[in-house]
Amino acid sequence: MKKIIQSVTLLLIFNSIIYSQNSIHQLKHELKNVSTLEIKMNSNPSFTSGEKSGTLAFFLSLLVPGIGELYLNRYDVGKYFTASEGVLWLSLVGFNYYGSWQRDNYKSFASTYGRVTVDEKDEKYFATIGGYMNINDYNNEKYLYREFDKVYDVPKFYWNWQSNEDRKKYRGMWVSSENSFNNIRFAVALIVVNHIVSAINSAIMASNYNEEINQSPIQINSGVELDQFGDYKYMLNFSTSF
């Protein structure tokens, strides 16, 4: 009976040893297959993973200022370009409305107080009549300086202000209208500049964005190798670049 018990005990010990060796070999095999882990650190919380297209950002902002910055998740900057765009367009519409309103006013005023027929007259004519009391004063000056090609036909281009005050009032209205139309050109120029600046800013921010998400990579290398005595050892290496 004792021999049977001893035999069973030895068999159990032998199986335990075999199982332990198999577990060790399996663990070693798994450690050998440990791959390299790369962790990319991003110090800017406003950036997310994945590169952005600088070309796309450029053309988005060129089309609508601020949209390129929105694409880059930086509308905290882009909103100022969008707001500027809105203000400039409102200014342009306002200048155009005021200039047209004043133009209608000075034409009506000239018809009433200067006996002007406003039909078929160009802008140069309306600029001229504000500087002379009547057509005769204007034509006499052109005759004096022998500028015969600038002389107006009296029946067609006739005007005669009732007073110098009326002429000055008309002149002020004309100047106000012209200044408003000139401001339209200025507003258009600023709109173009706003588009270009926003586009360039988006391209630069896209470049900075991509640099940020790719900077400071940390490499963690791990694996199992044999030492000089034939024993396995676990290796863990860290490396980084700045």
Structural domain contains residue 184: yes
If pLDDT is split at 50, 70 and 90, which confidence band does 185 have?
very high
pLDDT digits (tens, 9 = 90+) for 114-171: 999 999 999 999 999 999 999 999 999 999 999 999 999 999 999 999 999 999 999 9
238 strand-pairing partners: 220
Rounded to 5°, the CA angle 21-25-31 comes to 145
Structural domain contains residue 176: yes
pLDDT digits (tens, 9 = 90+) for 6-46: 443 444 444 444 444 444 454 344 434 434 333 333 334 34
Nearest CA-CA partner of 202 in 89, 81, 91: 81
Structural domain contains residue 36: no
Structural domain contains residue 69: yes
Q: Compute CA distances 51 → 60, 71, 75, 81, 210, whole Å.
A: 16, 11, 17, 23, 5
Q: How far is it, in rounded angstroms, from Cα 75 to Cα 66? A: 7
Structural domain contains residue 154: yes
Q: What is the pLDDT of residue 8?
A: 37
Nearest CA-CA partner of 39 in 235, 239, 219: 219
Structural domain contains residue 20: no
Structural domain contains residue 29: no
Sign of CA dihedral 86, 189, 58, 201: negative
66: left (phi over 0), alpha (psi -120 to 50) or beta: left
Q: How many CA atoms lie within 13 A of 116 on its CB side?
A: 29
If pLDDT is split at 50, 70 and 90, which confidence band does 214 have?
confident
Instruction: Work out the number of other CB atoms within 10 angstroms of the CB of residue 54.
Output: 19
| Number of domains comprising the chain | 1
Letter for the amino acid at 36?
A: T
Residue-number span of the structural domain to which 108 is assigned: 54-215
Structural domain contains residue 90: yes
